[in-house]
C-alpha cells in the first residue's frame, strides 16, 4: 500500500500545486491514499470550507491541521460536518471535530490518519504522549495501517514521540516548521519517520511568505503585512510504502516536486 503525505499547503500557490500535481503523482506511484496538512491553505493562515474543497478536488483524501486551525472562523463548518477533516487529537475534551479519520481503500485495510500537536514552543494543549494511547488502541482494533501527522516545533519532541510509537504505527511525519528535513528512516519496529515534510507552496520566500516584509519585521520588531509568496512553487512531502497486513513501513522517500515541471503550469 502506498501513501503520500503533503507538507503544509500554504495559500493559493500551495493549493494550485496540490491540485495540479497530486493526480499525476497518484498515477505515477499507484497511490492508495493522499493526506495533506491544510492549516495554512487560506491566505497562508488557517483553512476554510472553500480551500478544503479545492484541496479535496485535486485528489487529497484526508486533511490534517495544527496550531493555525482556528485562524479562519469558517473552520467550524469543517470541524462539525467534514469527516475527511482532522484536527489535533490533544485538544481538550469537548472541542469540536475529530483527532483521527479513516480512509477506506477497496481491497485493502483502511488507512487511519491521526493528527497530534506538540507542546514545546507551541500552544499548551494536552500531553500528546499520553493522549495518543487511547485513540491508538482503538484504531489498532480496526486497521494496522496508521499514519500520524505530528505538528510540532522541536525536533527532539518529534523524534521522541515517533520513537515511542515505533512498531505501533506505520509512519510518523512532522509538520509545522515548513523546512523539509533529510532524516527519513524506518525505525527498528517498522515505523517510517521524517522530522518535517516541508511545505507545499512558494519557496522563493521565508516559509511561504514574501521575503522583504519578514526581513523588515526582524529589523524593526514592528508588525508587517506578510503576504503569501508566489515564486518557485514546490509540492513537498513524503511517499511511504506500507505492508497492509502488518502495518509496517517498507520504504519512505522525500518528495519535492516543482509545479513548473507540470504541463500548463506557470
* pLDDT tens column, 227-257: 999 999 999 999 999 999 999 999 999 999 9
* pLDDT tens column, 47-71: 999 999 999 999 999 999 999 999 9
- Mean pLDDT for 144-162 is 98
Strands (E) in 81-196, as ranges, are 100-103, 111-117, 146-151, 171-175, 185-186, 192-194
Task: Please report which confidence band the pLDDT of residue 261 belongs to, taking 50, 70 and 90 as the band edges.
Answer: low
Q: What average pLDDT is seen over the chain? A: 96
Residue 68 known to be catalytic: yes
CATH architecture group of domain 2-206+232-261: 4-Layer Sandwich (3.60)
d(CA 151, CA 200): 15
- Mean pLDDT for 150-173 is 98
Catalytic residue among 32, 68, 103, 176: 68
pTM of the complete model: 0.95
62 vs 261, which has greater pLDDT? 62
- Mean pLDDT for 179-198 is 98
Q: Residue 94: CB partners within 8 Å, gap ≥ 6?
A: none
Residue ranges of domains in the chain = 2-206+232-261
Amino acid at each position: 500500500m502506498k501513501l503520500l503525505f503533503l507538507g503544509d499547503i500554504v495559500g493559493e500557490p500551495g493549493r494550485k500545486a496540490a491540485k495540479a500535481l497530486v493526480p499525476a503523482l497518484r498515477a505515477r506511484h499507484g497511490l492508495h491514499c493522499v493526506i495533506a496538512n491544510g492549516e495554512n491553505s487560506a491566505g497562508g493562515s488557517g483553512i476554510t470550507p472553500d480551500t478544503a474543497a479545492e484541496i479535496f478536488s485535486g485528489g487529497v483524501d484526508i486533511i490534517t491541521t495544527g496550531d493555525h486551525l482556528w485562524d479562519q472562523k469558517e473552520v467550524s463548518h469543517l470541524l462539525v460536518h467534514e469527516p475527511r477533516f482532522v484536527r489535533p487529537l490533544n485538544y481538550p475534551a469537548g472541542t469540536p471535530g475529530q483527532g483521527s479519520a479513516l480512509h477506506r481503500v477497496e481491497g485493502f485495510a483502511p488507512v487511519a490518519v491521526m493528527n497530534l500537536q506538540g507542546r514545546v514552543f507551541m500552544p499548551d494543549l494536552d500531553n500528546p504522549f499520553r493522549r495518543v494511547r487511547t485513540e491508538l488502541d482503538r484504531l489498532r482494533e480496526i486497521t494496522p495501517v496508521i499514519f500520524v501527522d505530528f505538528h510540532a516545533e522541536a525536533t527532539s519532541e518529534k523524534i521522541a514521540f515517533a520513537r515511542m510509537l515505533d512498531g505501533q504505527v506505520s509512519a510518523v511525519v512532522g509538520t509545522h516548521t515548513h523546512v523539509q528535513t533529510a532524516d527519513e528512516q524506518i525505525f527498528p519496529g517498522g515505523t517510517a519517520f521524517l522530522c518535517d515534510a516541508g511545505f507545499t507552496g512558494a519557496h522563493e520566500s521565508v516559509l511561504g511568505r514574501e521575503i522583504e516584509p519578514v526581513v523588515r519585521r526582524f529589523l524593526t520588531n514592528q508588525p508587517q503585512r506578510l503576504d503569501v509568496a508566489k515564486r518557485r512553487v514546490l509540492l513537498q512531502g513524503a511517499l511511504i510504502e506500507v505492508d497492509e497486513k502488518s502495518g509496517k513501513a517498507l520504504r519512505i522517500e522525500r518528495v519535492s516536486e516543482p509545479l513548473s515541471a507540470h504541463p500548463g503550469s506557470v
